[in-house]
Structure formats: C-alpha cells, structure tokens
Amino acid sequence: MTKKSNEAPLRAGPQETALARRYSLVFALLLALGMLHFALLPGLLGACLGFLAAKALARTGQRWRYGPQGAFAAAVVIALPLLALVLALLNAKALALGAMGQYQALLQFLAQTVLEIRKKIPPDWALYLPDELMEVQLWLAEMLKSKASVLAGAGTQALHGLLLVYVGLVVGALMAAGTVAPTSAPLRLQMRERGRLFIAAFGQVVVAQFWIAVFNASCTAVLLLVALPLAGAHVPYIGPLVTLTFFCGLIPIVGNLVCNAMLSLAGLSVSVAVGITCLVFLVVVHKAEYAINARILGKHTNTASWELLAVMFIGEALFGLPGLVAAPLYYGYAKKEWQAGGWI
C-alpha cells in the first residue's frame, strides 16, 4: 500500500533566491534593451499605461457599488482608445497631412527667422554681432529645413507608433484584470518583483512628467492666446507651438530647451521685445516647474538634473530618440532596484 505524499513544496533557500534574482535582472536588462533595439518602446509605455489605468479604474469601482471593477475596468481601458482611434481613422489622412504640413511650415518659418536675425534686432545691436555668427545661422537654418523635409515621410511611422501603443495598452489592461496565482517558485517571484518595481518607476517618472508637460503647455497657451494678444502681439503658428511644447515637455530638461528655443525664435519673428518676453516667461515657468518636480519626484527618486542629463545623453548616443525618451524611465527603475538591494 502506497502512502500519499502530504509534504508541502520546498521553499527556496537564500542561495536559490539570490540566483533567481540574478537571472531575473539579466532578463529584465535584455528585455529593456530589446525594446529599444526593435523599436518596441511605444508598446512598452502603452502596456504600463494600460496596467495603471485599469488598476486605477478598478480601485475607483471598489468605492462605488456600480463602478468599473476587474475585467470591466480593463474593457473600458481597451474600448475608449479604440473608439477614439476609429473616429480618428475616419479622417486620418486629412489629419496626418494637415499636422505634418503645419509643422513643416513652422520649421521653414523658424529657419527663415534665423537667417533674418540681423534684420530683426536694432541696427546698433547688430554692429556687435560677430561675423562668425552667420555660419551658425546658416547651420541652424539648414538643420531646421532638413527636419522639415524629414517630416514629409513621418506619417506612416506615427501611425505605426500609435498602433504599438494601443497593442501595449490592451496587454497592460489584460494583465491588470488577471488574477495572480500564488507560487513559491523563486524565479517567478523575482520576475514579479522586477515588474512591480518597473511599474512603480513608470508611475513616478512618466506620469509625473506628463503632468509637468500639461503645466508647460497650459502656460504657453495662456501666453500665446491671452497675454501677448492683449499687448497687441500675435505670434504665428500658435497651435503647433502649444502642441510641440506638450510633447517636448514629456522629455525632461532637453525637451524644455528645444521648446524654449523654438518659442523664442517664433517670438523674435514678431519683434525683439516679444522674443525676450517669451524667453523670460519660459524661464519663470521652468522655475515653477522645478518646484513641481521636487514635490512630485524628489521624495521618491532623489534624481538630480545632472543625473538625468547624463543618462539621457548616453541613451540618445546609443539608441537615438527612443533612448532619449526611455532614459529617465530606465534610470528611475534602476534606482528602484538599487534601493531594493540596499546599494543606495
């Protein structure tokens, strides 16, 4: 007669747990690099966003008797962007061509403004400008014109990126709606811990940067649509400039420098006073942004500006624009791992 085994599954010891942690870290590193190498970063960001959105809706549903819960919350997260996508696709060609045309015209306009800087400023000031400045003007104007020509073929890439974001959104929402099976397997536990820390870093870095971008774009809209028109100054291409400010604001520090330069050039095209006003306004806004940044991120990540700049420059040098965008998120996740390991 055979005896039935009632023994509980063996728990992993310290050595097995440490080995599983090393394997999970290597896998997380390879996955992060693979997202950049195969241009899948939009899908990763969409998955994180879908996961957090579904979890937030589910928590809200727990407070209200008839609120969205579990699978229904995931269905809402999946369906709403799909409806918006269907409505957008009904006029996708016109929207894409119109947006790209506006930004092409904006870059061409800024390039012309760069070439005419000496005509915009007072003659007395122009005397003090070095002759070498003309070479810089020509280089900057050519760069802006080349970026304008690149936009002509960017429509297909933009639609591909949106598709990746939506697929990631679906995956993240489904993950949030699923149930987590209990396990004692050390590698599975460690992989879950990697995912938990990455989602936490996404929530702190990316979501906070989103609200900072909203703040920047709102302040820019108030300046261009309210303050300057009341003073009798009308800056061209207001819509593209406000939109560009929002998307540049999603990239810490470097994005602010780009939108500062473009907005100041657009103001300079009207007059020197308007250009200086735009520059001073942006400096004040970014001082306020530092306070917001410190309040939102300072207590959690303790990330200084020089750290962000260093990792963003490295990311851009290795992977281009995707590396520049991913660098703050990846660095925030790395610091989470270092804190969990007691290294910092």
Q: Where are the domains of the chain?
A: 34-178, 189-339
What is the pLDDT confidence band of residue 142, given thresholds at 50, 70 and 90?
low
Taking a C-beta distance cutoff of 8 angstroms, is the pair 109, 241 a contact? Answer: no
Write out the chain in H/E/C secondary structure.
CCCCCCCCCCCCCHHHHHHHHHHHHHHHHHHHHHHHHCCCHHHHHHHHHHHHHHHHHHHHHHHCCCCCCCHHHHHHHHHHHHHHHHHHHCCHHHHHHHHHHHHHHHHHHHHHHHHCHHHHCCHHHHCCCCCCHHHHHHHHHHHHHHHHHHHHHCHHHHHHHHHHHHHHHHHHHHHHHCCCCCCCCHHHHHHHHHHHHHHHHHHHHHHHHHHHHHHHHHHHHHHHHHHHHHCCCCCCCHHHHHHHHHHHHCCCCHHHHHHHHHHHHHHHCCCHHHHHHHHHHHHHHHHHHHHHHHHHHHHHHCCCHHHHHHHHHHHHHHHCHHHHHHHHHHHHHHHHHHHHCCCC
Q: Give 17-27 pLDDT, tens digit per residue.
A: 888 889 999 99
Res. 87 pLDDT band, cuts 50 70 90: low
pLDDT of 109 above 70: no
Q: Which residue has the higher pLDDT, 173 or 253?
A: 173
* Mean pLDDT, rounded, for 71-97: 69
pLDDT of 97 strictly over 50:
no
In which residue are the tokens 């899908």 written?
A: 43
Average pLDDT over residues 29-42: 90
* Residue 64's pLDDT band (cuts 50, 70, 90): low
Q: pLDDT by residue (tens digit) across 206-249?
A: 777 787 788 888 888 888 888 888 888 888 777 878 888 888 77
CB 205 within 8 A of CB 341: no
Lowest mean pLDDT among 94-98, 108-112, 338-342: 94-98
* Best CA proximity match to 193, nearest among 13, 337, 344: 337
> In terms of pLDDT, which residue wins out, 164 or 5?
164
Mean pLDDT of all residues belonging to the chain: 74
Residue 200 has pLDDT above 80, yes or no: yes
